[in-house]
Amino acid sequence: MNFIFLGPPGAGKGTLAKEAAKAFNIPHISTGDIFRENIKNGTELGKKAKAIIDAGGLVSDEITIGLVKDRLSQPDTANGYILDGFPRTIPQAEALESFAKIDAAVNFDIADEAVVERLGGRVCCKDCGQMYHVKFNPPKVEGKCDKCGGELYTRDDDKTESIQNRLVVYRKSTAPLIDFYKEKGNLVDIDARPAPEKVLEEFKAKFKK
């Protein structure tokens, strides 16, 4: 199946996507991860995107659509994929229609207060990108990744001003996608409030895996 994960920043999209991708044996494609990889490697794309991302804005539709179109042309997407963090605007969703067939738009249902708390405590691994939460999902050893031993850091866009800006951007540019996919008849709501294991269970039950 071809999934898109829709929801506010910090809703737990990446956390569920990693586990669901394993369970369904399909790739997890995160535009945020692709941008961060480019920033880390100092590519032209990374240089263009960094200031926008740190401020909590959106990278241009043109750049982002091109990136996703290219990624979806790779052979590993033939049996399905999870698109996490794309589309984020109506033009992106419309462009996606022209080169992909989406089976389900999974909408993460959660209140703003909860996402602010999740983003405020998020730390990520510098080496493998795995995310943790200082309170809800702490690493076994403080500051170190359980999976690879890499150093954990706080993303620049997880500092307070950027968090508020991202929520404003989400309401204005991304939330309209909920109606877009509802009208197409492939919106599936998921309760994003419970612990990660519960959210994964609900996801598996809904999509029978």
Catalog residues that contact ligand ADP under the rule CB under 6 A: 7, 9-15, 30-32, 35, 52-53, 56-59, 64, 85-88, 92, 118, 121-122, 131-133, 136-137, 157, 166, 195-196, 199
Phi, psi of 187 (to 5 degrees): -85, 130
Active-site residue identified among 144, 155, 193, 204: 155
Encoded amino acid at 129, one letter: G
- Work out the burial of residue 48: count CB atoms within 10 Å of its CB; fewer than 13 is exposed, 13-18 middle, 19 or more buried: middle
18 binds, among ligand ADP, Zn ion, none (CB under 5 to 8 A by kind): none
Q: Annotated catalytic, 166?
A: yes
Q: Report the residue number, 26 or 59, with the smaller CB distance to ligand ADP.
A: 59
Q: Annotated catalytic, 88?
A: yes
145 binds, among ligand ADP, Zn ion, none (CB under 5 to 8 A by kind): Zn ion
Beta bridge partners of 131: 124
Strand ranges (E), the chain = 2-6, 28-30, 81-84, 104-109, 122-125, 131-133, 152-153, 187-191
Binding residue ranges: 10-15, 31, 36, 57-59, 85-88, 92, 122, 125, 128, 145, 148, 155, 166, 194
